[in-house]
């Protein structure tokens, strides 16, 4: 493992700690309950990138997907702060401050994504010597379906407004769609499995969170 790769792993851990600080004390809780768990995933990914060369690329893939989902949560939260101010009686100045904090979370999460991409590039080889690169088109097609259809289907099922369709896209369909695409297009078998596992884990945890948070709907 090269020194720049180890440094990138340490930077991911530092950004994860910064995300914890930005999320704490930002009540009302505008971020879904999974946000802090995803930050923990980012931190573990950074540790693996820094300390375990063989796991660096898969860890960078999972960390990047988690960071992208955190960024989506934060961007939605930046709008929801103002909805809370109107409905909950909080001042609009407080909503403005909360919205800026949410933007800071999104910026930090996108910085994690960039560093994860850098860590992937700096890590040792993409796979065993001579491993052929054969993109699995079915995964890419499935990714396009998740990316384009999931927000529309969930919006139609819930009778939600167009803004909620955009929320579903940022929370789930964009990170999941890109993860599924990675499962079919990344050159390393380990990275492809990491992308598929990262999406599967996120779907499972999101389903459990949704069932607990909204038992009447689930």
Helix, strand, or coil here: 179?
helix
Structure tokens at 11: 């930077």
Q: What's the structural domain count of the chain?
A: 1
Domain that holds residue 81: 3-213
Burial 46-84 (b: 16+ CB within 10 A, else e): bbbbbeeeebbbbbbbbbbbbbbbbbbbbbbbbebbeeb
Per residue in 28-77, pLDDT tens?
Answer: 555 567 888 999 999 999 999 999 888 999 999 999 999 999 999 888 88
Mean pLDDT, residues 198-212 taken together: 87
Per residue in 144-162, pLDDT tens?
Answer: 777 777 666 666 555 555 5
CA dihedral 3, 5, 10, 14 (to 10 degrees): 130
d(C-alpha 80, C-alpha 197), whole Å:
30
Q: How confident is the model at residue 100 (pLDDT cuts 50, 70, 90)?
A: confident
Q: In this structure, is residue 162 part of a structural domain? A: yes
Count CB neighbours of 156 within 10 A: 10
Give the pLDDT confidence score for residue 129 in this predicted structure: 46
User: 145 preceded by cis ω (within 30°)?
Assistant: no
Percent pLDDT > 90 in the chain is 37
d(C-alpha 22, C-alpha 25), whole Å:
8
Give the pLDDT confidence score for residue 155 in this predicted structure: 60
d(C-alpha 12, C-alpha 8), whole Å:
6
pTM, rounded to two decimals: 0.84
Query: Looking at the predicted structure, is the pLDDT value of residue 201 above 50?
Result: yes
> Where does residue 76 fall: left (phi above 0), alpha (psi -120 to 50 degrees), or beta otherwise?
alpha
Q: H or E segment at 129?
A: none
Q: Tokens 């930050």 map to which residue?
A: 39
Q: In this structure, is residue 73 part of a structural domain? A: yes
* Contact partners, residue 15, CB within 8 Å, separation at least 6: 42, 46, 108, 111, 112, 115
* Contact partners, residue 166, CB within 8 Å, separation at least 6: 151
Q: In this structure, is residue 171 part of a structural domain? A: yes
Q: Tokens 């540790």 map to which residue?
A: 47
190 to 3, 48, 59, 183, 193: CA distances (angstroms): 22, 14, 10, 10, 5
Contact (Cβ atoms closer than 8 angstroms) between residue 123 and residue 5 = yes
Q: In this structure, is residue 218 part of a structural domain? A: no
């Amino acid at each position: 493992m090269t020194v720049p790769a180890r440094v990138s792993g340490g930077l991911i851990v530092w950004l994860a700690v910064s995300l914890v600080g930005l999320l704490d004390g930002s009540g009302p809780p505008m971020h879904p309950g999974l946000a802090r768990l995803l930050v923990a995933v980012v931190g573990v990914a950074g540790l693996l990138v820094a300390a375990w060369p063989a796991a660096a690329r898969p860890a960078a893939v999972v960390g990047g997907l988690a960071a992208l989902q955190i960024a989506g949560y934060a961007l939605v939260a930046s709008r929801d702060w103002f909805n809370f101010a109107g409905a909950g009686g909080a001042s609009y100045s407080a909503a403005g401050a909360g919205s800026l904090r949410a933007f800071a979370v999104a910026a930090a999460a996108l910085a994690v994504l960039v560093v994860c991409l850098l860590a992937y590039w700096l890590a040792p080889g993409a796979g065993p010597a001579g491993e052929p690169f054969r993109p699995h088109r079915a995964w890419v097609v499935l990714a396009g379906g998740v990316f384009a259809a999931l927000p529309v289907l969930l919006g139609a099922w819930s009778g939600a407004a167009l803004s909620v369709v955009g929320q579903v896209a940022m929370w789930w369909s964009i990170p999941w769609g890109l993860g599924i695409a990675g499962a079919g297009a990344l050159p390393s078998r380990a990275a492809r499995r990491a992308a598929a596992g990262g999406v599967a884990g996120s779907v499972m945890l999101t389903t459990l969170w949704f069932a607990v948070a909204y038992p009447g709907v689930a």
